[in-house]
């Protein structure tokens, strides 16, 4: 079972209806959440990208309140960030960055492939983690650096 199917099952267990459809501005909007329903753009070519979109929309289910489509509103931007952070933690998390390091991944492309997310999603997650934690964070016996590029060091 791939990540997309797992997320679909999670949504079903929360009584969230998912429909793949053609969205009005699929170049900009790939998914929408409203009232326990998620629409995902039918044009998305891979399950990996669909997983990233579905995770973010599930993030809205778990973290957002009301209509947040107006990104000029600071509250909407905060809720959008929270939904994305939920998705990053769901599909990647700091442990995922450590697992990619242990697997021998040398680039964001390799790490994204190992974690089964898009490279764009991984890069956005790293940027978000840097905003949240700063230049680095310590987890268990690892230092995860977010700048100048992603790096994981095991402490002895």
Q: Are 72 and 87 in a shared domain?
A: yes
Q: Are residues 101 and 87 in the same domain?
A: no
Angle 5-11-14 from CA coordinates, rounded to 5° = 150
Q: Where are the beta strands (DSSP E) in the chain?
A: 17-21, 31-34, 37-41, 136-139, 142-145, 151-154
pLDDT at 26: 55
Whole-angstrom distance, CA of residue 70 vs CA of residue 75 = 9
User: What pLDDT score was predicted for residue 25?
Assistant: 66
- Give the whole-angstrom CA distance, residue 103 versus residue 96: 10
Q: Tally the domains of the chain.
A: 2
152 and 80, same structural domain? Answer: no
**Same domain flag for 42 and 71:** yes
Within this chain, do residues 119 and 106 fall inside the same structural domain, yes or no? yes
Distance of alpha carbon 59 from alpha carbon 147, whole angstroms:
26
For the chain, residues with pLDDT lower than 50 are none
Cβ pair 121, 113 in contact under 8 A: no
Q: Give the residues across from 33 on adjacent strands.
A: 38
- Please indicate, yes or no, whether residues 69 and 31 belong to a single structural domain of this protein: yes
Is 64 in contact with 94 (CB distance < 8 Å)? no
Whether 13 and 80 share a structural domain: yes
- 66 and 128 share a domain? no
In this structure, are 86 and 99 located in the same domain? no
Encode pLDDT of 36-57 as tens digits.
999 999 989 999 999 999 999 9
Residue 32 has which token pair? 């929408």
**Residue where a domain terminates, one of 54, 73, 91:** 91
Structural domain boundaries, residue 31:
1-91
Mark whether 104 and 141 lie in a shared domain.
Answer: yes
DSSP class of residue 66 equals S
């Amino acid at each position: 079972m791939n990540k997309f199917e797992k997320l679909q099952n999670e949504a079903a267990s929360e009584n969230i209806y998912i429909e793949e459809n053609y969205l009005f501005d699929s170049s900009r909007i790939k998914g929408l959440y409203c009232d326990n329903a998620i629409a995902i753009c039918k044009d998305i070519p891979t399950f990996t990208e669909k997983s990233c979109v579905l995770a973010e929309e599930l993030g809205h289910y778990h973290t957002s309140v009301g209509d947040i489509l107006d990104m000029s509103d600071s509250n909407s931007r905060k809720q959008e960030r929270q939904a994305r952070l939920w998705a990053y933690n769901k599909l990647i998390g700091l442990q995922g960055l450590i697992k990619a390091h242990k697997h021998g991944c040398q680039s964001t492309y390799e790490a994204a492939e190992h974690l089964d997310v898009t490279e764009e999603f991984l890069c956005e997650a790293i940027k978000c983690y840097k905003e949240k934690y700063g230049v680095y964070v310590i987890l268990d016996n690892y230092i995860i650096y977010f700048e100048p590029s992603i790096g994981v060091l095991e402490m002895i």
